[in-house]
């Protein structure tokens, strides 16, 4: 519950504060957000599996964000920035889909 409240607080804060993203970080923020969403869905699924651990959740959240941003940064340096960014988004999307499928199977048994 607190997680949902925290999410709402974050959304409201973002709407009120309206910060501008620094230019250097602008290509990485969407990737980081998708990676964090993936970690969130993973946590949700682990909770439904009954194996939720807050330490693992925190570490996976942070590592997902950092690793995704690192991969995109590396791709930019190598000159394949758009392709690697696409690949990262695709893979994160696949993971989100599989986690969502597990959640759905738990909740709706279908």
- Given the rule CB under 8 A, which residues bind another protein? 1-11, 13-15, 18-21, 23, 26-27, 29-30, 32-33, 36-37, 39-40, 42-43, 45-58, 60-61, 76, 79, 81-82, 91, 94-95, 97-99, 101-102, 105-107, 109
Q: Is the CB of 70 or the CB of 102 nearer to another protein? A: 102
Task: Let me know: does 45 contact 89? Beta carbons within 8 Å.
Answer: no
Q: CA-CA distance, 103 to 45, in Å (whole number)?
A: 5
Residue 13: how many other CB atoms lie within 10 Å: 11
Q: CA-CA distance, 92 to 84, in Å (whole number)?
A: 12
Q: How far, CA to CA in Å, does 50 sit from each of 44, 47, 64, 105? A: 10, 5, 21, 14
Least distance between another protein and beta carbon 94 (Å):
7
Q: Is the CB of 32 or the CB of 70 nearer to another protein? A: 32
Helix (H), strand (E) at residue 33: helix 29-49
Least distance between another protein and beta carbon 18 (Å):
7
Least distance between another protein and beta carbon 15 (Å):
6
Least distance between another protein and beta carbon 32 (Å):
7
């Amino acid at each position: 519950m607190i997680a949902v409240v925290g999410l709402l607080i974050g959304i409201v804060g973002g709407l009120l504060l309206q910060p501008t993203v620094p230019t250097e970080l602008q290509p990485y923020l969407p990737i980081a957000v998708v990676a964090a969403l993936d970690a969130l869905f993973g946590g949700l699924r682990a909770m439904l599996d009954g194996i939720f651990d807050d330490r693992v959740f925190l570490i996976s959240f942070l590592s997902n964000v950092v690793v995704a941003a690192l991969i995109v940064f590396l791709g930019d340096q190598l000159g394949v920035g758009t392709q690697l960014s696409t690949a990262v988004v695709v893979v994160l999307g696949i993971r989100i889909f599989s986690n969502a499928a597990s959640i759905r199977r738990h909740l709706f048994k279908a």
